[in-house]
Amino acid sequence: MGHHVLLIEDEPNIMEAIRFFLSRDGWKVSCHSDGATAMAEIARVTPDVVVLDVMLPNRSGFDVLRELRSDPGLGAVPVLMLTAKGQAKDRSRAEDLGASDFMTKPFSNAEVRDKLRALVGPA
């Protein structure tokens, strides 16, 4: 099995599409959809990389990223942020909080795969 990616996304269609094509490409994919419990899930599965949506129920992806980066054990995990907005201020906020990379919805499967490969290597 390839690299382990934790996908934290609350839109079922997007979650399933990313899970499907990454699994097919050799990645191990775990999925989670709640911002309030995202940190506990990251700690539980210890992924190689996290795909983190900005707009999550109960807690924003920005807040999750801020907490992740302050965690001594997990803070170095690469994070690819996803947002539907794509506004410059979201991108700069994600970068300021320590996102490894950033993508705007909609995106192609190849874009996601290429960005993940750039962060952790091929599956």
Identify whether 122 is part of a domain: no
Identify whether 53 is part of a domain: yes
The CATH number of whichever domain residue 71 belongs to comes to 3.40.50.2300
* 30 CB-near residues (< 8 Å, 6+ apart): 4, 5, 6, 7, 41, 45, 47
What's the pTM?
0.95
Identify whether 84 is part of a domain: yes
Identify whether 120 is part of a domain: no
Please provide the average confidence, as pLDDT, over all residues in the chain: 94
Identify whether 107 is part of a domain: yes
The range of the structural domain enclosing residue 12 comes to 4-115
**Per-residue model confidence as pLDDT tens digits over 6-36:** 999 999 999 999 999 999 999 999 999 999 9
Q: Residue 85: pLDDT band by 50, 70, 90 thresholds?
A: low
Total domain count, the chain? 1
Q: What is the per-residue pLDDT for 86? A: 62
